[in-house]
Amino acid sequence: MIFTVPQAILRIESMEEKTMTDTAQQPVRETKTFAAKAFAAQSATSGLAPFSLQRRAPRPQDVQIEILYCGVCHSDLHQVHNEWQSVMPTVYPCVPGHEIVGRVVKAGSAVKKFKEGDIAAVGCMVDSCRKCASCLAGEEQYCENHLTLTYNGQDTILGGVTYGGYSDSIVVDEAYVLRVSNGLDPAGAAPLLCAGITTYSPLRHWNVRPGQKVGIVGLGGLGHMGLKFAKAFGARVVLFTTSPNKTADAVRLGADDVVISKNKSEMDKHAGTFDFILDAVSAEHDLNAYLELLKLDGTMTLVGAPEKPAPVSAFKLIMRRRRLAGSGIGGIRETQEMLDFCAERGITSDIELIKMQQINEAYERLLKGDVKYRFVIDIASLK
Ligand code: NAP
Ligand code: ZN
Ligand code: ZN
């Protein structure tokens, strides 16, 4: 079979030479495309600005979604600033966004789950190998061969890089598209696609339940969802924050106790008492101060992904056979389970709705921990 680079891709004016080379090196089928409006970063320091990209015309198994809302995850900011360059270097132009809710405007002939007009959602991944042990177990986020991330991933169909939800449309294989109940506010539901599943999944995996004492570290996008889920699962929940002005909100969101983590004597009161701690902090901080709070066989799971590695004291783990773990988003089946759970319980994210044009200011506020508790972009502002 002869592969060619689609003209549509060659026409993208602002595509940098590096991306063009990457594109040219990949096997790319001739695919029809259409233009979509978006916001992109051109470099780690450029900020985000208007950008035009090409989406593939839907194949039989694809749905085309008109994006209504897209949440702003701290991962978007890490990626735009190329803070994860040692693990997943950023390809520019970068169109972030993986908390996507929209309306189906086209469903391919083989699509079974969706029809035109349905509300649908897309999270952090748009494809995976579907054959490895992780994919077969429904844990596609841990695909051993090729996971296609929603943005800054390798686009196996068009070639080049994938573009995310800071855009007015997206085309995705229905196997990676989620159903959203009409009962959920679509803007408040958008952050469930990353902040929601990333906290739901580890709380379920480590079987958080009534009778347990659970800590959530950091009251941001992930943290406030973790707090809601840990409460919904029946645990006694303590929220750790560096921001004393978030105390009243933490209580309103369900915290049984709030600890200002900079206050050592407050921290000491909880030493050796936690069954489980979920750490959702985006920046450098002392993990040992939290390991100290776990009881015998307690687990602390990291979901926060700061730029720099953190030192861990072996003794903090040895002394009470404690465990330090990590967790990444969640599989498609579990994401749907989480969305259905939220629909049943009326759980959504607490959001600040912004226009696309306010995104650079929103990033500045996110860096200061100043968001209540997730920015969501109203994509109507792109039109
Ligand atoms: P966010 O909304 O910015 O929240 C992060 C919170 O961390 C802040 O609100 C703040 O809470 C706390 N914090 C910030 N700087 C701190 C510092 N220097 N020391 C201590 N605490 C600090 O971010 P997010 O969107 O929830 O994301 C959180 C992290 O999870 C990011 O690193 C993101 O990339 C990562 N993430 C991972 C996954 C995964 O699959 N594992 C998925 C999504 C996101 P207080 O003001 O309450 O202290
Ligand atoms: Zn995210
Ligand atoms: Zn796989």
Residue 2 inside a domain? The answer is no
Cα 245 to Cα 219, 242, 248, 284: the distances in Å are 11, 9, 7, 21
Single out the residue in 308, 326, 344 at which a domain terminates.
Answer: 326
Residue 190 inside a domain? The answer is yes
Sign of CA dihedral 41, 43, 46, 52: negative
Task: Count the neighbouring beta carbons within 10 Å of the beta carbon of residue 28.
Answer: 19
Q: 106-117 burial by CB neighbour count: b if 16+ within 10 A, else e?
A: bbbeebeebeee
Cα separation, 309 vs 271, whole angstroms: 24
Residue 312 inside a domain? The answer is yes
pLDDT reported for residue 198? 98
Min mean pLDDT across 20-34, 282-296, 312-326, 336-350 is at 20-34
Query: Is residue 173 domain-shared with residue 201, that is, in the same domain?
Result: no
327 Cα–ligand 1 center, Å: 14
Which residue's C-alpha comes closest to atom 44 of ligand 1?
75
Q: Is the pLDDT of residue 284 over 60?
A: yes
Cα separation, 9 vs 11, whole angstroms: 5
Residue 16 inside a domain? The answer is yes
Single out the residue in 326, 351, 366 at which a domain terminates.
Answer: 326
Half-sphere exposure of 186 (CA within 13 A, CB side): 20
176 Cα–ligand 3 center, Å: 13
One-letter identity of residue 12: I
Query: Is residue 187 domain-shared with residue 201, that is, in the same domain?
Result: no
Query: Is residue 319 domain-shared with residue 334, that is, in the same domain?
Result: no
pLDDT reported for residue 339? 98
Domain count, the chain: 2
- Rounded to 5 degrees, what angle do the CA atoms 223, 228, 230 make? 90
Query: Is residue 292 domain-shared with residue 356, that is, in the same domain?
Result: no
- List, for residues 189-237, the tens digit of each pLDDT value: 999 999 999 999 999 999 999 999 999 999 999 999 999 999 999 999 9
Please give the number of the atom of ligand 1 that sits closest to the Cα of 328. 40
DSSP readout, 304-319? Answer: ---SS-----HHHHHT
Tokens of 270: 């909880």
**Mean pLDDT of the residues in the chain:** 93
Residue 209, classified by CB atoms within 10 Å of its CB into exposed (0-12), middle (13-18) or buried (19+), is middle
Q: Please report, for the domain that includes residue 146, its CATH number.
A: 3.90.180.10
- List, for residues 1-34, the tens digit of each pLDDT value: 333 333 333 333 333 333 333 343 454 557 899 9
101 Cα–ligand 2 center, Å: 14
Single out the residue in 326, 346, 374 at which a domain terminates.
Answer: 326
Query: Is residue 213 domain-shared with residue 117, that is, in the same domain?
Result: no
Q: 160-172 burial by CB neighbour count: b if 16+ within 10 A, else e?
A: bbbbbbbbbbbbb
Query: Is residue 314 domain-shared with residue 335, that is, in the same domain?
Result: no
The alpha carbon of 43 is separated from its chain's Cα centroid by a whole number of angstroms, namely 21
One-letter identity of residue 39: F
Query: Is residue 60 domain-shared with residue 131, that is, in the same domain?
Result: yes
Query: Is residue 199 domain-shared with residue 189, that is, in the same domain?
Result: no
Query: Mapping DSSP to helix (H, G, I), strand (E, B) and coil, where does residue 250 land?
Result: helix
Mutate to test the pocket of ligand 1, among 282, 302, 349, 354 (most ligand atoms within 8 A of CB): 282
Indicate the helix (H) or strand (E) that contains 342.
helix 332-345
Mutate to test the pocket of ligand 1, among 70, 74, 203, 364 (most ligand atoms within 8 A of CB): 74
From the CA of 197, the nearest ligand is 1
Q: Is the pLDDT of residue 40 over 80?
A: yes
Residue 29 inside a domain? The answer is yes
Q: How confident is the model at residue 175 (pLDDT cuts 50, 70, 90)?
A: very high
Residue 133, classified by CB atoms within 10 Å of its CB into exposed (0-12), middle (13-18) or buried (19+), is exposed
One-letter identity of residue 42: Q
pLDDT reported for residue 213? 98
Query: Is residue 222 domain-shared with residue 116, that is, in the same domain?
Result: no
pLDDT reported for residue 377? 99
Query: Is residue 39 domain-shared with residue 178, that is, in the same domain?
Result: yes
- List, for residues 105-120, the tens digit of each pLDDT value: 999 999 999 999 999 9
Residue 1 inside a domain? The answer is no
Name residue 33's beta-bridge partners.
Answer: 56
Q: Domain range holding 335? A: 7-194+330-382
126 Cα–ligand 1 center, Å: 24
Mutate to test the pocket of ligand 1, among 85, 192, 279, 281 (most ligand atoms within 8 A of CB): 281
Residue 225 inside a domain? The answer is yes
Please give the number of the atom of ligand 1 that sits closest to the Cα of 285. 19
Q: Please report, for the domain that includes residue 217, its CATH number.
A: 3.40.50.720
Q: Is the pLDDT of residue 358 over 80?
A: yes
Q: Identify the residues whose C-beta falls under 6 Å from ligand 1.
A: 73-75, 78, 194-195, 198, 218-223, 241-243, 246, 280-285, 303-306, 327-329, 366, 369, 371
- List, for residues 238-283, the tens digit of each pLDDT value: 999 999 999 999 999 999 999 999 999 999 999 999 999 999 999 9
Residue 127 inside a domain? The answer is yes
Please give the number of the atom of ligand 1 that sits closest to the Cα of 141. 40
* Nearest of 36, 14, 143 to residue 91 by alpha carbon: 14
Query: Is residue 313 domain-shared with residue 226, that is, in the same domain?
Result: yes
Give backbone dihedrals phi and psi of 174, rounded to 5 degrees, phi first.
-60, -20
284 Cα–ligand 1 center, Å: 10
191 Cα–ligand 2 center, Å: 8
Query: Is residue 27 domain-shared with residue 99, that is, in the same domain?
Result: yes
